Amino acid sequence: MSGTAELLVEPDRLAAELDHTDPPTLLDVRWRLAGPPGRDDYAAGHLPGAVFVDLDTELCGRPGAAGRHPLPDPAALQAALRAVGVRAGHPVVVYDGGDGMSAARAWWTLRWVGHRAVRVLHGGFPAWVAAGLPVSTVAPTPTPGDVTVTPGELPVLDAGEAARLAAAETGVLLDVRAAPRYRGETEPIDPVAGHVPGAVNLPAPEYVSDGRFPSVEALRQRFAAAGVAADAPVGAYCGSGVTAAQAVLALHLAGRPDAALYVGSWSNWVADPDRTVATGGTPGH
């Protein structure tokens, strides 16, 4: 699959790379929206040499009007990445508990700040265990890294840009939440139900299953069916920019490295009561 090896790594390939004298930096970013903390999973067992990174407090900013997982402060992010051993130009592999969402957000964040040599362990920790590979409970002390954070290396959307993309005659804004949330029938997390007017619903399970992606051709077909054209802008949002980061990773796999992330996503959209909310099963304006 063209380009896949630059974005994903299978467990057996990663195991071989970890045997090298200068292996990739391993980051464990396990996370659940409703808890318990991923750090508990890390303590119970992780890939040998992996260092835990907290999605909520180290890879994202503080929740608020900008969303539940807004962009981090660049200086704070640089300090956090250096503390876990991220080095300029040195390969990084991120993994999560198997759904691929927090790993994708970590991948996106590293790419957004200019660190291109980052991959996601395909299938996450469960795939590693299923392959019969070793697990450790030893928390290493990483050598501090020297990565320099340069924000803006991947495209982002704010609320106004997301609205314009959704309303444009060419281009598409994908809402990758579950269909009932998109339609406004239920909203278990945010205070208002519905979707950005003009956004097209493409629930995440339609392009990823248990944290694993189908072939590049299958991804292209699924995105094309949702209205993603090769020569038109595309962006994605979800509840707070985590699942949507996985959609951006899938779009990269499908050959769309220009795909934009609405980082604030729905949690940012509904923070302003003046923003219009659409409901129903079609992209209402």
Residue 56 DSSP label: I
Same domain, 10 and 105: yes
In a domain, 141, yes or no: no
Same domain, 102 and 34: yes
At 98 the pLDDT is: 96
At 3 the pLDDT is: 66
The burial class, CB within 10 Å (0-12 / 13-18 / 19+), for 16 is exposed
**Quick check: 26 and 42 in contact, CB under 8 A?**
no
In a domain, 59, yes or no: yes
In a domain, 147, yes or no: no
Write down the residue that tokens 């992209």 correspond to: 283
In a domain, 144, yes or no: no
**Cα-based distances in Å from 65 to 168, 198, 240, 272:** 25, 22, 11, 8
Domain count, the chain: 2
In a domain, 177, yes or no: yes
The backbone torsions φ and ψ at residue 93, rounded to the nearest 5 degrees and listed phi first, read -125, 130
CATH of the domain at 26: 3.40.250.10
Same domain, 45 and 91: yes
Q: Which is catalytic among the residues 66, 159, 238, 263? A: 238
Q: What is the per-residue pLDDT across 94-134, written as a single tens digit (0 to 9) for each?
A: 999 999 999 999 999 999 999 999 999 999 999 999 999 99
In a domain, 201, yes or no: yes
**Cα-based distances in Å from 265 to 55, 161, 203, 212, 219:** 16, 12, 14, 23, 22
Write down the residue that tokens 């956004």 correspond to: 199
In a domain, 146, yes or no: no
Same domain, 75 and 177: no
Q: Is 60 a catalytic residue?
A: no
**Quick check: 162 and 235 in contact, CB under 8 A?**
yes
**Quick check: 240 and 176 in contact, CB under 8 A?**
no
**Cα-based distances in Å from 73 to 53, 80, 153, 177:** 16, 11, 15, 26
57: three-class secondary structure by DSSP: helix
At 1 the pLDDT is: 35
Q: What is the per-residue pLDDT across 39-71, written as a single tens digit (0 to 9) for each?
A: 999 999 999 999 999 999 999 999 999 999 999
Q: Which strand (E) or helix (H) includes residue 94?
A: strand 92-95
At 163 the pLDDT is: 97
Domain hosting residue 207, numbered range = 156-269
At 285 the pLDDT is: 52
Give just the sign of the alpha carbon dihedral 205, 213, 257, 52.
Answer: positive
Low-confidence ranges of the chain (pLDDT < 70): 1-3, 284-285
The pair of structure tokens assigned to 163 is 């609205």
In a domain, 283, yes or no: no
In 32-100, alpha helices (H): 38-44, 74-83
